[in-house]
């Protein structure tokens, strides 16, 4: 039994480490993208279009991962794409967590009509298919990064709200809350000082998962050309461009796809790992 627990812990540890390292590298690249990029991500060189990556014949050592059909450097576009992806992930993730958790805390702690109104709202929200909802919102808000971030908040706050509401309800039923009530602490005080700190680990784990979702949403919207301008180096835009020339230049699609895959996988594994780490039963 002890051995089983030990191996579970090791597996969890490796998962957290590996995904954490990848996310750290990508975040650093995103932060220093203008400094580490060998080329201007927007600079076109029509004479150097569709150059293959460095290990294939006909490649140019100046373009390590090759170029797309307009002769733009794939590696530099990947780095700048990371910048856009991580900015959206961070801002959209935090804002969604804030809105959803706040409503969830109120519903779970106040109960009564507040709970009824918020829960009914969540039900109606979940009736819409997320992708369709996102496209609809972008049509309303117009394209651009701000619209994407707003769309993510508007669609995904329910994700936090449902979980945090349940968690707040659990915590409210605990003895420490009852004793705080008996001690005559004001309700607002109990909510912020007693319940919130105990719900926070759940929120952090959900936030990591949400950042992965934000990266995907940004990629999907730039793929269907509803994000920022088509020139901008987004991973989704690179994938869309690569999809059209897949038979001539597979690397234009494969590299952003690989990076996107690992990033989304890491966000999700990191979040799941945190969730298990915070889970008192597993710990």
Partner 1 sequence: MKLLRAILVRLATMSVTLIGAAVVVFFVIRVVPGNPIAMMLPPGASEEDVARLTAHYGLDKTIFQQFGIWLSGVFQGDFGTSISLRQPVMPLVLGRLPATLELAIFALVIAVVIGGALALTGVRHRETRTETAVDVANGVGLSIPDFLWALILIVLFGVLMPIFHISGRISPSLELPFVTQFYVFESLFRLRFDLWWDLLKHMFMPALALAIPLAAIISQLLKQSLKETMHLDYVTLSRTMGYSENHVILSEALPNAVLPTLTLIGVQFTFLIGGTVIIERLFSYEGLGNMAIDAVINRDLPLIQGIVIVFALLFTIINLVVDMTYALLNPRLRHA
Interface ranges with partner 1 (CB under 8 A): 123-124, 127-132, 135-136, 138-140, 142, 212, 216, 219-220, 223-226, 239, 243, 246-247, 250, 253-254, 257, 260-261, 264-265, 268-269, 272
Q: In the complex, what is the shortest distance from the CB of residue 124 to partner 1, in angstroms, rounded to a whole number?
A: 6
- Contacts of residue 132, defined as CB under 8 A and 6 or more positions apart, other chains included, come to none
Q: In the complex, what is the shortest distance from the CB of residue 81 to partner 1, in angstroms, rounded to a whole number?
A: 15
Q: In the complex, what is the shortest distance from the CB of residue 213 to partner 1, in angstroms, rounded to a whole number?
A: 8
Residue 87's nearest CA partner among 194, 235, 199, 189 is 235
Q: In the complex, what is the shortest distance from the CB of residue 85 to partner 1, in angstroms, rounded to a whole number?
A: 13
**Residue number with CB closer to partner 1 (46 or 124):** 124
**Residue number with CB closer to partner 1 (31 or 131):** 131
**Residue number with CB closer to partner 1 (136 or 232):** 136
Q: What SS3 string covers the chain?
A: CHHHHHHHHHHHHHHHHHHHHHHHHHHHHHHCHHHHCCCCCCCCCHHHCCCCCCCCCCCCCCCCCCECCCCCEHHHHHHHHHHHHHHHHHHHHHHHHHHHHHHHHHHHHHCHHHHHHHHHHHHHHHCCCHHHHHHHHHHHHCCCHHHHHHHHHHHHHHHHHHHHHHHHHHHHCCHHHHHHHHCCCCHHHHHHHHHHHHHHHHHHHHHHHHHHHHHHHHHHHHHCCCCCCCCCCCHHHHHHHHHHCCCCCHHHHHHHHHHHHHHHHHHHHHHHHHHHHHCCCCC
**Residue number with CB closer to partner 1 (194 or 276):** 276
Q: In the complex, what is the shortest distance from the CB of residue 276 to partner 1, in angstroms, rounded to a whole number?
A: 12
Q: In the complex, what is the shortest distance from the CB of residue 266 to partner 1, in angstroms, rounded to a whole number?
A: 9
Q: In the complex, what is the shortest distance from the CB of residue 209 to partner 1, in angstroms, rounded to a whole number?
A: 9
Q: In the complex, what is the shortest distance from the CB of residue 56 to partner 1, in angstroms, rounded to a whole number?
A: 14
Token pair for residue 255? 């590299």
**Residue number with CB closer to partner 1 (102 or 264):** 264
Phi, psi values for residue 155, rounded to 5°: -80, -45
Q: How many Å apart are CA 201 and CA 205, to the nearest integer?
A: 6
**Residue number with CB closer to partner 1 (149 or 180):** 149
**Residue number with CB closer to partner 1 (179 or 244):** 244
Q: How many Å apart are CA 258 and CA 267, to the nearest integer?
A: 14
**Residue number with CB closer to partner 1 (129 or 186):** 129
């Amino acid at each position: 039994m002890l051995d089983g627990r030990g191996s579970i812990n090791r597996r969890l540890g490796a998962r957290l480490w590996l995904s954490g390292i990848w996310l750290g590298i990508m975040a650093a690249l995103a932060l220093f993208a203008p400094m580490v990029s060998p080329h201007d991500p927007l600079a076109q060189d029509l004479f150097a279009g569709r150059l293959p990556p460095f290990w294939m014949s006909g490649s140019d050592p100046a373009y390590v991962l090759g170029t797309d059909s307009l002769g733009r450097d794939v590696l530099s576009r990947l780095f700048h794409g990371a910048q856009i992806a991580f900015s959206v992930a961070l801002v959209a993730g935090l804002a969604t967590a804030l809105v959803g958790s706040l409503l969830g805390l109120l519903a779970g702690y106040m109960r009564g009509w507040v709970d009824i109104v918020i829960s009914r709202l969540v039900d109606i929200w979940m009736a819409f298919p997320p992708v369709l909802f996102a496209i609809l919102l972008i049509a309303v808000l117009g394209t651009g990064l701000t619209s994407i971030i707003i769309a993510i908040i508007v669609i995904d706050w329910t994700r936090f709200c449902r979980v945090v509401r349940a968690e707040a309800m659990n915590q409210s039923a605990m003895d420490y809350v009852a004793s705080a009530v008996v001690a005559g602490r004001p309700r607002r005080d109990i909510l912020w000082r007693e319940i919130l700190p105990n719900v926070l680990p759940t929120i952090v784990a959900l936030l990591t998962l949400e950042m992965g979702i934000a990266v995907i949403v940004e990629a999907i919207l730039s793929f269907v050309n509803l994000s920022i301008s088509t020139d901008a180096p987004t991973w989704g835009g690179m994938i869309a461009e690569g999809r059209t020339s897949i038979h001539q230049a597979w690397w234009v699609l494969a590299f952003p796809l690989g990076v996107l895959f690992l990033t989304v996988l890491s966000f999700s594994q990191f979040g799941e790992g945190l969730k298990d780490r915070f889970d008192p039963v597993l710990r």
